């Protein structure tokens, strides 16, 4: 018997084939092949011809030899056998030529020997040619040819031959079934494997242990573990190989736990695992980090004496490394009798996986020092370590070593280099490596794409995707998942949609990872309906897709939808993880739903997630957002560990609720705990400092920022600009702005808003234009600031220019911008344009109504103010305090007390009566109406009473003849700790002056000075008025002297010159009046008219006409001036002079000439006895003459003693009833006319008016 070895096999497999040459054992081909397999992939078979085939050849060659002169067939066969043994390809070719020369190549028997000869000599091309020429292929030809294909991994051809062999006369046996099954396993062709299994059953080979083990192996590795188990369980007595095949298959399919269970089951059956079995068990432990099971297998290895086996030791190192036990891995490594590159690589890989990059690089260097040359895998992990350690210099050195070793084009190494350079952002180097690689596959491209993604270079990432596709590489799931996540992260919906098309095109819609990534992308991009469609299409909804949907809803402010999704997740029994609760809490924050937040908190505690710092941080934030501050502080105080985000959450929470002092206290504690401060920390604390307006704290914080080298941070810089701007430190704000490398639109907004807030409107607009010139597009907020600046300057043209720009960029429909445009027009006095803009708004909101109402109010359009308020209410909007303030002001201006009381009722209904500004306005309104009781009632109801409240009440009492009560209130105000301004003092002084209680007025003034209150201009107006009314010239002069020594009022604008002139005029000292007037020359028409009145009062006609001439020449003469001159003419009897002036002024001023001027002219003619001319003047009046005019004429009639003319005048009256009965009191001699008037019939027709009360 001849036994031929199947050659050198890998460590995990071997096979022998025994061919019996004894003729007594040459019956069945099945029995001639005895195979023993262990699981692995590569087999090498040496086949010799069975003896019955050699005997057949001897017989045929003898016959052929007698027929023609041919070489001896036995010799040919012997030479073929020798060539096979010696693998002499050259001799084989010569032999083949000799056969062909004699025309024997088509001889089937001889051809069946040519096939194995060429197979063993390594020429599958010649073997294939010989095989294909055969019409009748023997078992030997089939076996040798199939073995050759297997050795060259041409598994597809082997499976193609399966059906051909079925159709041939050759019986399928165990050998062939094993080869076919192994090929199916290699190609993961379980469908073909099932057909082979069916043929196995048909041929009755299912009991063959080798075949059965191959079936187990095939099903397990093809992802059909249940079928593998069925075959295994059908075995009467599974051997070690059977168990190992099952364990290995389960482990390869990701069923590591089940694989380890099978290993335990095997041991429970009394079978001790082989070296290979334990090797598979270790691999399973490494995959899932099953340390305890791995340690048990380690014990079994030591027990079996395998610990010195290098392959086993290397696998132990790998297992401990993946389980994170590098100390044990190091012990195994140190105990190995010899170490190869795999040993070192396992150790390096372990350190890399644990992110101990520096230790990994140390190991790599030790390996090189130990004389072990790195292989591609070692280089791969070393390059990963360089990335992890941030050591690009070492990475570049390793790159040089790679080139020196000639491995730069190795797939693993090249991909790792691309990955490393990409992580460091060295994309030029990454590109060089990628494009130097002869075949760029999808993994290398993915490394570059991920690098671009990590550096936020999404455009470049998608360019790589396009380049990859142009090279004919399809997008694989990994690429699609990465790119979909990019699209979601950067909100690039366009590329996301294109990727979705690619998913559909390549039929990957059912890939779970891609489905989840699509949901993620749509959710992140805000296309939640599309995300919901993808979610609804899932056959199995697991934690990740639910998390993506809940996160999408929460991120885009749809808190209610997020919680509904969470409820559905609970109903379907899907397990929630920490990420789920993070977004559920965010949804609770959005809705400010503390009840749901507390329920979630209970779930979190129950599942043990509260120990995670990030969860605690989100809980703190949620409780702050829900305004449950005590719970927020409680969660914070109970955190096991606090990181930067924890402190940030509590600081930001305090700032949002106006607890700036508390925020700063937490900041100090954070510093004491040496917690790293980040961008969010500084922004929060800067906001706290800004709200407190503590300049020193702000500057100290700025110094900290500079020390931490964060002054260039854009967000921090913007917050600093905002802080300095709000504090009025605009130079410092500008300095910070100038330091920013690339100011964004927020930077400009912060800077410009500071200038606007502090009324530096021109500077604000200048920066606005500079920003536009630098290519920064204004936001709606910036346009609002610019419009507010125009409002402050009343720069209508500039405001309209900005409005045109707003229209150009399409922001005219923005409701806030629209409100700003209305405000600009209103401030510029263009109320029609403001109203037009208001009417064009797509939505007339409360702010728009308020702005319009404020505009009407500011410009004294009382009725429009009140009408707009009514329209606002009818439109369903509730007026805010500003609207009510404007309306109350309007009521005061027109004396509409009834409307004011209605507004008061509305204020109470809206619950705004506690607003101090409204309360103060109500007190002021009632005070001005003289409704002092109501004013006092409102005042008494105020929760807090400030200086404005007291001033309004005091002024009300003072203006309506109650100076004593006003003074009592002034004293009470001070007793309650409210320091009065000059206004209430002035009101009391003026009230006493109006009652001619001059001594009391001076007494109050003295009290004012005693309390350290410096008088202002208004105080002296009251004092001078008191002096004028009492003709107290010496007192007035004393106060005049005093005012010159008070710096606050001793200037051209502070001294009440007009009141001083008026006082001197009323006291009869026109020299002092003129001197005061000349001391501070100005074009104030009131001051000129006051001087004119003084001269006219004392009938200093030359001075009056001289002053009139000056005023006319400089264009200051007006209707009031004319009154003074006409009055002088009247009293001086200057009829012609007065008449000429009146006619001239009528021509120049037209509508400015009013009833008073006509009355004055009537008085002028009446005093001169020219009654007819006086009556003509009354007839010329633009409106019906009033009682004053008629009294003047009647008085003139009386003065000139002409009762007939008096009766004639009375006849001209349109209706005596239209006038006050007091008209008759103006007729001095009416008593002497009474009988004459009675006889004329006036006592009969006007008894109600003409009685003794009028003449007595």
Task: Give the 3-state DSSP-derived string for 1050-1064, with helices as H, strands as E and coil as C.
Answer: CCCCCCCHHHHHHHH
The rounded percent of the chain whose pLDDT value lies above 70 is: 87
- 527 has pLDDT over 90: yes
Q: What is the pLDDT of residues 158-211, one digit of tens each?
A: 888 887 887 777 778 888 888 888 988 888 888 888 888 888 888 888 888 888
For residue 962, the 8-state DSSP code is -
Report pLDDT for 115: 77
Length of the chain: 1256
CB-based contact 108:141 (threshold 8 Å): no
For the chain, domain boundaries: 544-626, 642-742, 747-843
Report pLDDT for 65: 40
Separation between Cα atoms, residue 1206 and residue 1196, nearest integer Å: 9
Separation between Cα atoms, residue 1165 and residue 1172, nearest integer Å: 8
In terms of Cβ atoms closer than 10 Å to its own Cβ (0-12, 13-18, 19+), residue 1112 is: middle
Mean pLDDT of 1123-1139: 82
Measured CA to CA in angstroms, residue 95 lies from 71, 72, 84, 90 at distances of: 11, 13, 12, 9
- 642 has pLDDT over 80: yes
- Alpha helices, H only, 607-744: 613-625, 629-637, 644-656, 660-672, 679-692, 695-707, 714-726, 730-739
Report pLDDT for 30: 31
With bands split at pLDDT 50, 70 and 90, how would you rate the model's confidence at 55? very low
Helix 1203-1212 vs helix 1230-1239: crossing angle, to nearest 10: 70
282 membership: H or E segment, kind and range: helix 275-288
With bands split at pLDDT 50, 70 and 90, how would you rate the model's confidence at 1209? low
Report pLDDT for 1205: 55
3-state SS assignment for residue 1172 = helix
Q: Looking at per-residue confidence, does 1149 or 3 come out higher?
A: 1149
Report pLDDT for 1151: 63
CB-based contact 267:273 (threshold 8 Å): yes
Mean pLDDT of 129-140: 79
Q: Nearest 5°: CA angle at 844, between 839 and 847? A: 120
Structure pTM? 0.59
Q: What is the pLDDT of residues 557-611, one digit of tens each?
A: 999 999 999 999 999 999 999 999 999 999 999 999 999 999 999 999 999 898 8
With bands split at pLDDT 50, 70 and 90, how would you rate the model's confidence at 780? very high
With bands split at pLDDT 50, 70 and 90, how would you rate the model's confidence at 426? very high
In terms of Cβ atoms closer than 10 Å to its own Cβ (0-12, 13-18, 19+), residue 582 is: buried
- 68 has pLDDT over 80: no
Residue located via tokens 């599942």: 607
- 89 has pLDDT over 80: no
The closest alpha carbon to 245, from 264, 272, 218, 266, belongs to 218
User: Of the given ranges (89-103, 147-161, 811-825), which has the lowest mean pLDDT?
Assistant: 89-103
Report pLDDT for 15: 32
Q: What is the pLDDT of residues 239-292, one digit of tens each?
A: 889 898 889 888 888 888 998 998 999 988 888 888 888 989 999 998 888 888
Mean pLDDT of the chain: 84
**Cα 728 from chain centroid (whole Å):** 28
Measured CA to CA in angstroms, residue 302 lies from 164, 332, 347 at distances of: 50, 11, 20
Report pLDDT for 17: 28
Q: What is the pLDDT of residues 653-695, one digit of tens each?
A: 999 999 999 999 999 999 999 999 999 999 999 999 999 988 9
Report pLDDT for 1178: 78
Buried b / exposed e across 295-316, counting CB within 10 Å, b at 16+?
bbbbebbeeeebbebebbbbbb
CA-atom Rg of the chain in angstroms: 54
Q: What is the pLDDT of residues 287-320, one digit of tens each?
A: 888 888 988 989 888 888 888 888 889 989 989 9
Question: Structure tokens of 734?
Answer: 């500008």
Question: Structure tokens of 846?
Answer: 């409360």
Q: Looking at per-residue confidence, does 161 or 32 come out higher?
A: 161
């Amino acid at each position: 018997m001849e036994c031929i070895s199947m050659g050198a096999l890998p460590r995990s497999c071997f096979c022998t084939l025994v061919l019996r040459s004894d003729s007594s054992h040459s019956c069945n081909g099945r029995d001639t092949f005895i195979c023993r397999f262990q699981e692995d992939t590569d087999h090498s078979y040496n086949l010799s011809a069975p003896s019955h085939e050699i005997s057949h050849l001897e017989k045929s060659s003898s016959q052929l030899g007698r027929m023609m002169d041919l070489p001896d067939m036995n010799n040919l066969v012997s030479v073929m056998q020798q060539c096979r043994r010696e693998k002499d390809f050259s001799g084989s070719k010569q032999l083949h030529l000799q056969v062909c020369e004699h025309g024997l190549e088509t001889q089937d028997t001889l051809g069946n020997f040519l096939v194995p000869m060429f197979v063993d000599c390594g020429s599958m091309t010649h073997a294939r040619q010989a095989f294909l020429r055969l019409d009748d292929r023997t078992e030997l030809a089939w076996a040798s040819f199939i073995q050759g294909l297997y050795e060259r991994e041409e598994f597809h051809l082997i499976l193609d031959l399966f059906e051909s062999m079925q159709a041939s006369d050759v019986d399928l046996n165990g050998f062939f079934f094993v080869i076919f099954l192994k090929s199916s396993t290699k190609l993961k062709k379980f469908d073909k494997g099932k057909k082979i299994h069916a043929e196995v059953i048909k041929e009755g080979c299912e009991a063959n242990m080798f075949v059965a083990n191959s079936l187990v192996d095939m099903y397990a590795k093809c992802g059909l573990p249940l079928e593998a188990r069925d075959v295994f369980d059908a075995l009467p007595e599974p051997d070690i190989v059977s168990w190992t095949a099952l364990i290995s298959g389960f482990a390869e399919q990701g069923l590591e736990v089940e694989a380890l269970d099978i290993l335990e089951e095997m041991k429970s059956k009394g079978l001790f695992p082989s070296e290979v079995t334990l090797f598979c068990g270790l691999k399973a432990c490494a995959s899932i980090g099953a340390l305890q099971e791995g340690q048990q297998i380690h014990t079994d290895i030591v027990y079996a004496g395998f610990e010195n086996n290098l392959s086993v030791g290397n696998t132990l190192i790998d297992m401990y490394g993946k389980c994170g036990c590098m100390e044990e891995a190091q012990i195994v490594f140190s105990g190995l009798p010899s170490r190869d590159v795999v040993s070192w690589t396992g150790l390096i890989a372990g350190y890399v996986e644990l992110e101990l990059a520096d230790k990994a690089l140390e190991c790599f260097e030790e390996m090189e020092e130990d004389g072990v040359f790195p292989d591609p895998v070692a280089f791969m992990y070393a390059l990963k370590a360089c990335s992890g350690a941030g050591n690009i210099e070492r990475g570049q050195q390793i790159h040089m070593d790679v080139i020196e070793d000639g491995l730069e084009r190795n797939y693993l190494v090249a991909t790792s280099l691309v990955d490393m350079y990409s992580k460091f952002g060295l994309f030029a180097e990454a590109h060089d490596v990628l494009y130097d690689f002869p075949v760029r596959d999808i993994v290398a491209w993915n490394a570059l794409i991920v690098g671009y993604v990590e550096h936020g270079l999404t455009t470049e990432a998608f360019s790589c995707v396009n380049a990859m596709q142009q090279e004919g590489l399809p997008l694989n799931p990994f690429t699609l998942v990465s790119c979909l996540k990019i699209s979601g992260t950067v909100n690039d919906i366009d590329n996301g949609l294109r990727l979705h098309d690619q998913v559909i095109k390549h039929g990957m819609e059912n890939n779970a990872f891609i489905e989840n990534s699509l949901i993620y992308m749509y959710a992140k991009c805000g296309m939640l309906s599309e995300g919901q469609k993808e979610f609804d299409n899932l056959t199995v909804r697991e934690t990740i897709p639910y998390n993506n949907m809940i996160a999408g809803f929460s991120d885009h402010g749809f808190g209610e939808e997020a919680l509904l999704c969470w409820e559905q997740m609970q109903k379907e029994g899907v397990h929630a993880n920490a990420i789920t609760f993070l977004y559920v809490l965010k949804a609770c924050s959005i809705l400010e739903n503390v009840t749901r937040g507390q329920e979630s908190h209970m779930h979190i505690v129950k599942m043990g997630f509260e120990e995670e710092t990030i969860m605690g941080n989100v809980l703190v934030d949620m409780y702050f957002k829900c305004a449950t501050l005590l719970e927020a502080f409680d969660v914070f105080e109970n955190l096991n560990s606090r990181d930067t985000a924890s402190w940030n959450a509590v600081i930001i929470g305090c700032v949002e609720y106006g607890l700036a002092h508390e925020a700063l206290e937490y900041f100090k504690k954070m510093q004491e705990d040496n917690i790293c401060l980040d961008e969010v920390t500084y922004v929060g604390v800067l906001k706290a400092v800004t709200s407190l307006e503590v300049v020193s704290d702000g500057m100290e914080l700025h110094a900290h920022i500079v020390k931490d080298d964060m002054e260039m941070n854009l967000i921090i810089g913007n917050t600093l600009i905002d802080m300095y701007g709000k504090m009025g430190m605009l130079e410092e704000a500008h300095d910070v702005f100038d330091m920013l490398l690339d100011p964004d639109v927020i930077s400009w907004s912060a800077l410009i808003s500071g200038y606007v807030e502090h009324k530096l409107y021109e500077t604000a607009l200048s920066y606005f234009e500079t920003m536009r010139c630098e290519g920064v597009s204004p936001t709606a907020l910036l346009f609002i600031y610019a419009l507010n600046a125009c409002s402050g300057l009343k720069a209508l043209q500039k405001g309209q220019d900005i409005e045109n720009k707003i229209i150009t960029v399409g922001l005219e429909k923005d409701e806030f911008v629209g409100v700003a445009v209305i405000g600009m027009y209103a401030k510029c006095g263009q109320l029609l344009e403001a109203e037009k803009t208001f009417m064009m708004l797509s939505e007339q909101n409360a702010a728009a109504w308020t702005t319009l109402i404020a505009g009407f109010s500011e410009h004294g359009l009382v009725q429009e103010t009140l009408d707009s308020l009514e329209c606002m209410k009818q439109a369903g909007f509730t007026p805010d305090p500003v609207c009510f303030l404007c309306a109350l002001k309007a009521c005061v201006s027109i004396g509409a007390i009834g409307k004011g009381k209605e507004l008061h009722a509305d204020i109470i209904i809206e619950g705004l009566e506690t607003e101090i500004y409204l309360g103060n306005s109500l007190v002021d309104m009632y005070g001005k109406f003289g409704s002092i009781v109501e004013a006092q009632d409102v005042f008494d109801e105020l929760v807090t009473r400030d200086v404005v409240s007291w001033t309004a009440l005091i002024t009300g009492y003072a203006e309506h003849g109650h100076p004593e009560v006003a003074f009592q209130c002034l004293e009470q105000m001070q007793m309650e700790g409210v320091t009065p301004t000059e206004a209430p003092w002035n009101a009391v002084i003026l009230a006493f002056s109006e009652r001619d209680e001059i001594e009391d007025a001076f007494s109050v003034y003295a009290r004012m000075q005693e309390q350290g209150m410096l008088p202002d201009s208004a105080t002296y107006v009251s004092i001078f008025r008191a002096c004028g009314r009492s003709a107290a010239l010496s007192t007035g002069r004393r106060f005049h002297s005093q005012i010159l020594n008070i710096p606050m009022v001793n200037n051209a604008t502070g001294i009440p010159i007009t009141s001083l002139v008026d006082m001197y005029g009323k006291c009869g000292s026109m020299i002092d009046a003129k001197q005061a007037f000349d001391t501070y020359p100005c074009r104030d028409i009131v001051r000129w008219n006051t001087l004119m009145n003084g001269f006219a009062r004392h009938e200093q006609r030359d001075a009056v006409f001289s002053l009139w001439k000056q005023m006319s020449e400089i264009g200051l003469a007006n209707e009031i001036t004319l009154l003074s001159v006409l009055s002088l003419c009247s009293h001086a009897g200057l009829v012609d002079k007065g008449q000429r002036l009146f006619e001239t002024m009528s021509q120049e001023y037209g509508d400015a000439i009013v009833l008073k001027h006509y009355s004055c002219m009537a008085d002028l003619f009446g005093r001169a006895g020219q009654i007819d001319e006086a009556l003509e003047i009354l007839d010329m009046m633009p409106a019906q003459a009033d009682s004053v005019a008629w009294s003047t004429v009647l008085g003139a009639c009386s003065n000139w003693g002409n009762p007939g003319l008096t009766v004639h005048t009375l006849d001209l009256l349109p209706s005596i009833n239209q006038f006050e009965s007091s008209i008759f009191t103006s007729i001095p001699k009416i008593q002497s006319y009474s009988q004459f008037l009675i006889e004329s019939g006036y006592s009969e027709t006007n008894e109600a008016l003409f009685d003794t009360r009028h003449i007595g």
